[in-house]
Structure 1
């Protein structure tokens, strides 16, 4: 997650394939992230979905962060 550049996103599946783990494990790692702004798990998306975000504000905060970075235009 820390390697995903500002303004870019990756999918759970892409990361899973890269590390040789199931996408669900990547999701669990994102959900267990204790430093979600410093370790930018908001940049990890599902295929065709935003996925979750385990900080106050949840997915709405994820959307705000992605828009702030220019990674989400809608």
Structure 2
């Protein structure tokens, strides 16, 4: 089994700003405010968190092929 990556580069779909962030291992991150344009990012339909939607690396539970927490709504 490969090592779990805990860092992911989030890229804002609105302005293209990219920043490396450390992903939480014990919760899904549903919201993220872009540091550049201040838009609030939410997961795309079918994704559990912003890292799965806009990150260079999927969240730790998805990397481990485990059930991740359900997205909002």
Q: TM-score, normalised by structure 2?
A: 0.28
As a proportion of its length, which structure holds more helix?
Answer: 1
Bigger CA radius of gyration: 2
User: TM-score if structure 1 supplies the norm length?
Assistant: 0.28
